[in-house]
């Protein structure tokens, strides 16, 4: 069987509208106009695993001068949320504009290039790729269709192999500098130095932040090992800021700042225990900065609620491209900006080998959490995280009964079916107010919003993972895209695959062409008699088709 989810939220219609003048909405000011090229360049700097640990967000010890400057000259978003507090599901939403819970991408993680050798997964489940619903594509394909040169350097981690059609370049050497002259670029650079693993990998390097001066959240014991790891985190963030500075300088040196929008964000919240993998504030609230050329909206703070499902639609909107209707997100900037949302949503499931399921809804003040394993505590002995010295130290202190009441919550408080937090009064979400009589009206409202979201989007979320894998990999086999066929008409070559939802990547070997570059097929291609065209059918979650060669007669319709 070929898996094609039939969700009411998916519409296959996609429209594109070019724009030489982009409009940008603002909640505190009337709409303003900004002259940009027909297609502005867009540079995205994505770091790993940080909450708003930047000086511009008020962090007292963060050493982030370049990102602070970027925010001072641009827009600082204060209510941007990941839909889940961990890498792969979060990146699934960032590449599709859809909730991971809605497309079967909600576990951490189901796909790895290591294949069967990937060890952070339950023994009864083999790795698999999420199959995106028919018509759903990496949003970069829409940019490529409109003439953008798209590069990714270099992490993908989308819950499926990075499609050949998603990027012009994808890897450690990918760079906008390699684009053909005159092409606008969309380029993502993923900075790994702030990743959770670097807390232990870089733990012996000289620190740039004094451990005695770091803030220690109340859910951590004030201990020398904990302080050291927090200082390592801040030192890594400082190095990340230096790397971001170099990326921005490359654009400046090329004379492209006046035609480039710069976006910065983290892929989810902080790297430490009770941060990464959590769906609380510490795991989902992220820094998000947008910088426009020529001081447009300079120094503004944007408080509107937004989440990662909104980011792909917003990037398309900034490029003057109408987002596809299947996206769950709403553009919050650009030509197709929509009204602010009142709530953000998300959920998590399996974390590596540990089974769990939680969902949340957050408005501007409160967070409601639904626990589907209510008898569990928040702590889970995730093997990967046990490499962090402070995690081992926290467990040691807990077993010695040397943690205070707040610090013990993580290890011993049974969560119950629901949690509710007043984040403005309790930013660390220590006090669960689910039974507090003064909050029952608020709780009822957010509970209802969560259940409406769940009913509208999350059919896939409530299917056991082993059944989800069978849907994507029927009979334990990855589906394969059908080999493309050709049709030549007066020197124009048409290419198609019979697999619904498939895209086509093609190469041209001939005079004036780069035979190593895979183009995205977007209509008949003009070729010369001596050109040789190779085509491959591509669909996210499927195995690529065998290559088809247009010189072979049996590849024609």
For the segment 509-520, what is each residue's pLDDT rounded down to a tens digit?
999 999 999 999
pLDDT(21) > 80? no
Question: Of 1-15, 440-454, 482-496, which range is least confident?
Answer: 1-15
pLDDT(390) > 80? yes
Q: Where are the alpha helices (DSSP H) in 183-223?
A: 197-201
Establish how many alpha carbons lie within 13 A of residue 275's alpha carbon, considering only the half-sphere containing its beta carbon: 27
Enumerate the domain spans of the chain. Answer: 358-469, 485-555
Coil, helix or strand for 550? coil
- pLDDT score recorded for residue 556: 75
**Confidence band, pLDDT 50/70/90 cuts, at residue 342:** very high
* Nearest CA-CA partner of 455 in 376, 359, 326, 349: 359
- On whether the CB atoms of residues 312 and 336 are closer than 8 A, the answer is no
pLDDT(500) > 90? yes
pLDDT(285) > 70? yes
Percent of the chain at pLDDT > 70 equals 93
* Nearest CA-CA partner of 138 in 91, 72, 175: 91
- pLDDT score recorded for residue 42: 99
Virtual torsion, Cα 34, 37, 41, 44, nearest 10 deg: 20
- pLDDT score recorded for residue 23: 40
Strands (E), 175-240: 185-191
* Nearest CA-CA partner of 105 in 284, 409, 350, 287: 350
- pLDDT score recorded for residue 12: 27
Spell out the residues 6+ positions from residue 90 whose beta carbon is closer than 8 angstroms to its own. 82, 83, 84, 100, 267, 268, 308
pLDDT(16) > 50? no
**Sole residue written with tokens 């509107």:** 304
What is d(CA 499, CA 21) in angstroms, rounded to the nearest whole number?
A: 38
pLDDT(19) > 60? no
- pLDDT score recorded for residue 385: 98
- pLDDT score recorded for residue 36: 66
**Average pLDDT of 3-28?**
34
What is d(CA 121, CA 465) in angstroms, rounded to the nearest whole number?
A: 12
**Confidence band, pLDDT 50/70/90 cuts, at residue 34:** low
Cβ contacts of 327-332, under 8 Å, gap ≥ 24: 327/96, 327/97, 327/98, 327/139, 328/9, 328/97, 328/98, 328/99, 328/102, 328/457, 329/97, 329/98, 332/25, 332/304, 332/306
**Average pLDDT of 491-514?**
97
What is d(CA 400, CA 380) in angstroms, rounded to the nearest whole number?
A: 19
- pLDDT score recorded for residue 294: 85
- On whether the CB atoms of residues 86 and 108 are closer than 8 A, the answer is yes
Catalytic center residues: 87
pLDDT tens column, 327-340: 999 999 999 999 99
pLDDT(468) > 70? yes
DSSP conformation class of 323: P
What is d(CA 508, CA 490) in angstroms, rounded to the nearest whole number?
A: 17
Could you tell me how far CA 531 lies from the centroid of its own chain?
A: 39
Coil, helix or strand for 373? coil
Coil, helix or strand for 351? strand
pLDDT tens column, 54-63: 999 999 999 9
| CATH homologous superfamily, domain 485-555 | Immunoglobulins (2.60.40.10)
- pLDDT score recorded for residue 551: 87
**Average pLDDT of 157-180?**
98
Exposed, middle or buried by CB within 10 Å (0-12, 13-18, 19+), for 95?
A: buried
- pLDDT score recorded for residue 492: 97
**Average pLDDT of 35-57?**
93
What is d(CA 372, CA 374) in angstroms, rounded to the nearest whole number?
A: 6
- pLDDT score recorded for residue 553: 80
* Pairing assessment for the beta strands 149-153 and 169-170 based on DSSP bridges: parallel
In this structure, the number of other CB atoms found within 10 A of the CB of residue 137 comes to: 25
**Confidence band, pLDDT 50/70/90 cuts, at residue 35:** low
**Confidence band, pLDDT 50/70/90 cuts, at residue 536:** very high
- pLDDT score recorded for residue 18: 34
- pLDDT score recorded for residue 144: 99
pLDDT(525) > 70? yes
Q: Across all residues in the chain, what is the average pLDDT?
A: 94
What is d(CA 408, CA 402) in angstroms, rounded to the nearest whole number?
A: 9
**Average pLDDT of 174-195?**
98
């Amino acid at each position: 069987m070929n898996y094609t989810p039939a969700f009411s939220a998916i519409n296959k219609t996609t429209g594109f509208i070019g724009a030489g003048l982009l409009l940008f909405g603002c909640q505190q000011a009337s709409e303003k106009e900004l002259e940009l090229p027909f297609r502005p360049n867009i540079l995205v700097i994505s770091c790993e695993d940080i909450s708003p640990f930047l000086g511009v967000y008020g962090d007292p010890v963060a050493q982030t001068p370049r990102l602070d400057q970027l925010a001072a000259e641009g827009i600082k978003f204060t209510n941007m949320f990941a839909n889940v507090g961990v890498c792969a599901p979060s990146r699934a939403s960032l590449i599709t504009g859809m909730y991971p819970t809605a497309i079967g991408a909600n576990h951490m993680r189901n796909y790895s290039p290591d294949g069967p050798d990937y060890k952070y997964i339950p023994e009864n489940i083999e790795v698999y790729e999420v199959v995106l619903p028919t018509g759903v594509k990496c949003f970069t394909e829409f940019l490529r269709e409109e003439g953008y040169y798209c590069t990714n350097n270099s992490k993908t981690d989308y819950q499926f192999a990075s499609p050949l059609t998603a990027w012009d370049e994808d890897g450690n050497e990918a760079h906008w500098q390699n684009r053909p002259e005159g092409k606008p670029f969309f380029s993502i650079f993923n900075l790994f130095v702030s990743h959770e693993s670097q807390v232990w990998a870089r733990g012996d390097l000289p620190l740039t932040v004094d451990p005695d001066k770091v803030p220690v959240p109340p859910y951590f014991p004030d201990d020398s090992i904990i302080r050291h790891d927090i200082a390592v985190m801040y030192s890594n963030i400082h190095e990340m800021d230096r790397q971001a500075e170099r990326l921005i300088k490359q654009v400046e040196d090329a004379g492209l700042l006046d035609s480039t929008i710069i976006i910065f964000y983290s892929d989810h919240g902080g790297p430490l225990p009770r941060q990464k993998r959590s769906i609380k504030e510490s795991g989902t609230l992220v820094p998000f900065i947008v910088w426009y050329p020529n001081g447009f909206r300079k120094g503004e703070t944007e408080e509107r609620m937004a989440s990662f499902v909104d980011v792909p639609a917003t990037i398309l909107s900034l490029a003057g491209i109408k987002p596809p209707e299947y996206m769950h997100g709403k553009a919050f900037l650009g030509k197709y900006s929509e009204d602010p949302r009142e709530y953000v949503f998300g959920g998590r499931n399996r974390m590596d080998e540990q089974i769990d399921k939680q969902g949340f809804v957050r408005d501007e003040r409160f967070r409601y959490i639904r626990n589907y394993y209510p008898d569990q505590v928040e702590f889970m002995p995730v093997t990967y995280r046990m490499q962090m010295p402070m995690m081992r130290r926290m467990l040691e202190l807990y077993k010695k009964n040397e943690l205070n009441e707040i610090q013990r919550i993580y290890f011993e408080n049974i969560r119950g079916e629901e949690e509710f937090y007043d984040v403005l009064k309790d930013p660390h979400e220590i006090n669960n107010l689910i039974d507090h009589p003064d909050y029952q009206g608020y709780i009822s409202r957010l509970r209802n919003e969560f259940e409406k979201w769940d009913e509208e989007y999350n059919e896939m979320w409530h299917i056991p993972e082993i059944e989800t894998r069978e849907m994507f990999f029927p009979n334990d086999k990855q589906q394969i895209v059908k080999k493309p066929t050709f049709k030549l008409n007066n020197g124009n070559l048409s290419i198609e695959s019979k697999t619904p939802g498939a895209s086509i990547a093609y190469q041209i070997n001939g005079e004036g062409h780069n035979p190593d570059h895979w183009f995205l097929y977007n209509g008949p291609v003009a070729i010369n008699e001596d050109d040789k065209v190779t085509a491959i059918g591509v669909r996210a979650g499927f195995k690529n088709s065998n290559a088809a060669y247009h010189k072979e007669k049996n590849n024609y319709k």
